[in-house]
Every structure is written in structure tokens, then in C-alpha cells.
Amino acid sequence: MKEIKVGLIGFGTVGQGLADVLFSQRERLVRRTGMSIKLAGIADHGTLELPERFKDIPLTQDGMQLINDPDIDIIVELIGGIEPAKTLVMQAIAAGKHVVTANKALLSQEGSDIFAAAARQGVEVGFEASVGGGIPVIKVLKEGLVANKILSIMGIMNGTANYILTRMTDEGIAFDEVLKDAQQLGFAEADPTYDIEGIDTAHKLAILMTIAYGTPITHKDIATEGISQIEPMDIELAREFGCRIKLLAISRNHGDHVEARVHPTMVPQDHLLASINGAFNAIHFCGDTVGNILMYGLGAGSIPTGSAVAADVVDIARNINCGSIGRVPALSYLPDQMQARRITPMDELYGPYYFRCTVLDQPGVLAKISGILSKYDISIESVIQKGRKKVGAVPLVIVTHSARESAVSAALAEISGLDSVTAPIVKIRILEAE
Ligand code: HSE
């Protein structure tokens, strides 16, 4: 039986998940591929001994040993971060190895170098696990939706942030405590600010947009806000307005320009994305021929993400076996068909908003604030004041009709300058029905 040899660099949460999946599914994979997919070496500089079930696999601390091993067909990079991951991936490509990676930070920043080098060398780069954990979203976009112009992408793409918001909403647990649980469960990035500040979601949206539109996008092109400013009070107020707060990635294809943003969003309770809870992710595409597609599943965790890495390994093994390497271009579009496009400035976007101002409870304050909003052509849908204080400040919450982002920014800057406004204003965008 033909054997495909895999070298694994990085034996952390996802690396262990891959090893477990290849181990537990080995007979099924033989039945499905007619090949033996063998983990032929593991490199990890923090691991001195492998678990008993993997004791026959050679362990090294040096990834280059696997890259230089002529018997290894596929290098799997699961160390994360930019360096030394990029150097190892480029060395593997230069050595003629196919590469599989889950490294969304690397691909969303350095993807063009990596994909160009792989195309020159005639090797494959698989990256299913970089977006959506166990959900096979990349394959769906590259192959299942190949006959579509993708009109929009929207989703919950970070399990940690969604887990935190869900437990804060449903159990009223404090942010820091839930974050600790998420870290223990193996969802969070090595630096959890990537999860909380929306950076990990922006990495993933950049990868999806690149494939969906055939346009090179980096995470720096994406306007990004995280969930660290969200307070329990906002979660409670969102509930009163019939919404749940979610960290959403949103992109719309306007033809010559594309929207690209990640921010906390108030999602109406009857919207499908409002019911995506815990570490689950959901990714929605609208294609011009297929219409709407929604994919749902575990977006983080060792075994689900290991399942996605294993799927890439199997795809490459099958292509090696059939002599069909490069059958599907890495980014779905042919490399010479990738086209740059303008990113729509946030200032040009429209939508409804929630503002929470902290104000002195005095006559005329609401009139001043509504006067400023009216000056910028922002129409109020509802206003709530919470509590009553002769001395001190109270929250004043305003929900608007659809307004232009540039007008909202200008109005909030002016409102923040009022003497009666005593703390920074919290602004959350509300998801508008399509
Ligand atoms: N830290 C990521 C998350 C892991 O929480 O979704 C999967 O990319």
C-alpha cells in the first residue's frame, strides 16, 4: 500500500489534535484513500517526550530535520505566529514539500509570498484549519462555490470571543473569569488579545475575502474593533432592545470596492447568527448563483481543528496519488487572475447605531445631545435613561435609524465634548436586516 509521510512541526493544541485524528481515523483513511497516511516525525522544541500512543514516532526539537528528510512528502506547520513559522514554511516549499498550515496570522500577512513560492515550486499549500476550526469553509468557498460571484461574507469566526459573550449574556459571568475558562479549554490564541480585540477574526476574514473575491487582502485592510469595551450593562440593554451582542466579521462585495470590517454588533434575536453560542462559529456566504449558505460548527479546539488539518493532508495525499497536484489553485483563482480592489472606507458605510453615554442627570442634557445628532442628520429611533440621580451620572442610551458612519463619528466627538458627558461613549453597530 502506498504510504504518504507527514512531518508535523508544532505539537501544541492543534498538533496533538491532528496526531489524535490521524491515529483514531487511520483505518477509515485507508478505506477512503487506499493509502497509509503516516505521521513520520514530530518537531516541537517544548516537548521532550510524546504520549504513549505516539511513542513510535520520531521526536525532534528541530523542524528543519523534518524539512530536510527526503522521505517526508507533506510538512504540517502548527506552531503559529509569523516567525519562525514563515521561514520553516518557505524552507519546506523550497525543499519541494507540500505544506499544510492552520496559521491564519501568517497567511493573512505573508500569504502572497507563500502562495507565490508554492506556485513556482509546484507544491500545494492547504490551510483549511486557518478559518472556522473544524468547519470545512475553505473547501466550500474554493470548490463548492466556484461557480459563484460571492456577494457577501458574514460570520462569527472566533470561538473564544463568542464563548465569552455567550457566558456573559447567559450567566452574567465577568469577562476575565470566562476568558480563563476559554484558555483552559484550548480555544484561545497564545496571545488572547488576538481573540478579544478582533485581530484573529480579521485574519480569518482576510483569508476568506482573498479567496472569495480573488483579491489579495491582508488583515491590515480590515477595520477592526474587539469586545473588551463591552460591559455587562450593554449586554443587558441589548437584550432590552431584542438583540444579542456578537463579534461579527462583515464583508460585502460592491464590485469595484469591498467592505471589510470586524466589530461587536447588536444582532436581532430572531437572526440566525444570534443563536450561535459558545465556541461555535457560523459563516454565511451569499453567492449570486447559489443564494445564501450558512455553515455552523466548532470554530476552535484540538480535535475539531485537527479534523480540518487532516482533511488538507488527505487532499494532498490524494493529489499525489493521482498525479493531480495543483488541480485546485491555492486561492481558487489562478495566480495571474488575482485583482486588487479598493476597500470601502468605514466613513462611507451606513447602518443603525446604539450609543451609551454617561451623563449628568440634569435638565437640557438630552436636548443638547439630540440637537447635535439632528445637526448631523442622525435620526433617533429610541432613547432610554437608566436610573435617576440628583448628583452623579446615569447611562443614557440612544438607538438611531440608519446613519452614515462619518456623521456618527463627528456627532459623537461633539457629544463627548459636552460638560455633562462624564465618560467615553460606547458605540455598538446594529445589524440591519438585508
Ligand atoms: N483562538 C481561535 C478561536 C482558535 O478562539 O476561535 C481558532 O482559530
* Spatial CA neighbour of 223 closest among 196, 257, 249: 249
Q: Is 133 in the pocket of ligand 1 (CB under 6 A)?
A: yes
Distance 158 CA to ligand 1 centre (A): 5
- Examine the domain organization and report whether 247 and 288 are in the same domain: yes
Residue 340 placed within a domain: no
> Residue 111 pLDDT > 90, yes or no?
yes
The model's pLDDT over 362-373, given as tens digits with 9 standing for 90+, comes to 999 999 999 999
Distance 92 CA to ligand 1 centre (A): 25
Q: What is the CATH number of the domain that holds 366?
A: 3.30.70.260
What local confidence, expressed as pLDDT, does residue 182 receive?
86
Give me the domain span that covers residue 327. Answer: 2-133+302-335
* Nearest atom in ligand 1 to 189's CA: 1
Distance 177 CA to ligand 1 centre (A): 18
- Examine the domain organization and report whether 225 and 264 are in the same domain: yes
Residue 119 placed within a domain: yes
Q: Is 188 in the pocket of ligand 1 (CB under 6 A)?
A: yes
Distance 386 CA to ligand 1 centre (A): 36
Residue 90 placed within a domain: yes
- Examine the domain organization and report whether 187 and 123 are in the same domain: no
- Examine the domain organization and report whether 155 and 232 are in the same domain: yes
Q: What are phi and psi of 224, to 5 degrees?
A: -130, 125
- Examine the domain organization and report whether 216 and 235 are in the same domain: yes
Q: Is 221 in the pocket of ligand 1 (CB under 6 A)?
A: no
Q: Is 315 in the pocket of ligand 1 (CB under 6 A)?
A: no
* Nearest atom in ligand 1 to 204's CA: 8
Query: What DSSP state is assigned to residue 431?
Result: P
- CA 111, 116, 117, 121 dihedral sign is positive
Give the pairing of strands 393-400 and 261-268: unpaired
Catalytic residue chosen out of the listed positions 5, 204, 246, 427: 204
* Spatial CA neighbour of 402 closest among 349, 357, 366: 349
Residue where one domain finishes, among candidates 335, 355, 390: 335
The model's pLDDT over 244-289, given as tens digits with 9 standing for 90+, comes to 999 999 999 999 999 999 999 999 999 999 999 999 999 999 999 9
Q: What is the CATH number of the domain that holds 255?
A: 3.30.360.10
pTM (2 d.p.)? 0.96
What local confidence, expressed as pLDDT, does residue 134 receive?
96
- Examine the domain organization and report whether 250 and 103 are in the same domain: no
* Nearest atom in ligand 1 to 130's CA: 8
Q: State CA 37 to chain mean position distance.
A: 29
Distance 173 CA to ligand 1 centre (A): 21
Q: In this structure, what C-alpha cell is assigned to residue 196?
A: 478579544
Q: What is the CATH number of the domain that holds 330?
A: 3.40.50.720
**Mutation to probe ligand 1, out of 101, 107, 130, 158 (largest number of atoms < 8 A from CB):** 158
- Residue 269's alpha-carbon distances to 130, 273, 314, 430, in angstroms, are 29, 8, 39, 12
Q: Is 201 in the pocket of ligand 1 (CB under 6 A)?
A: no
Residue 213 placed within a domain: yes
Say how many domains are in the chain. 3
Q: Is 129 in the pocket of ligand 1 (CB under 6 A)?
A: no
* Spatial CA neighbour of 30 closest among 3, 56, 53, 57: 3
The model's pLDDT over 289-345, given as tens digits with 9 standing for 90+, comes to 999 999 999 999 999 999 999 999 999 999 999 999 999 999 999 999 999 999 999
For the chain, percent of residues with pLDDT exceeding 70: 100
Residue 412 placed within a domain: yes
Burial of 188 (0-12, 13-18, 19+ CB in 10 A): buried
Residue 240 placed within a domain: yes
- Examine the domain organization and report whether 63 and 173 are in the same domain: no
Q: Is 127 in the pocket of ligand 1 (CB under 6 A)?
A: no
Residue 410 placed within a domain: yes
Q: Is 204 tagged catalytic?
A: yes
For range 8-35, the mean pLDDT: 98
- Examine the domain organization and report whether 165 and 250 are in the same domain: yes
Distance 194 CA to ligand 1 centre (A): 9
Q: Is 17 in the pocket of ligand 1 (CB under 6 A)?
A: no
The model's pLDDT over 385-411, given as tens digits with 9 standing for 90+, comes to 877 777 789 999 999 999 999 999 999
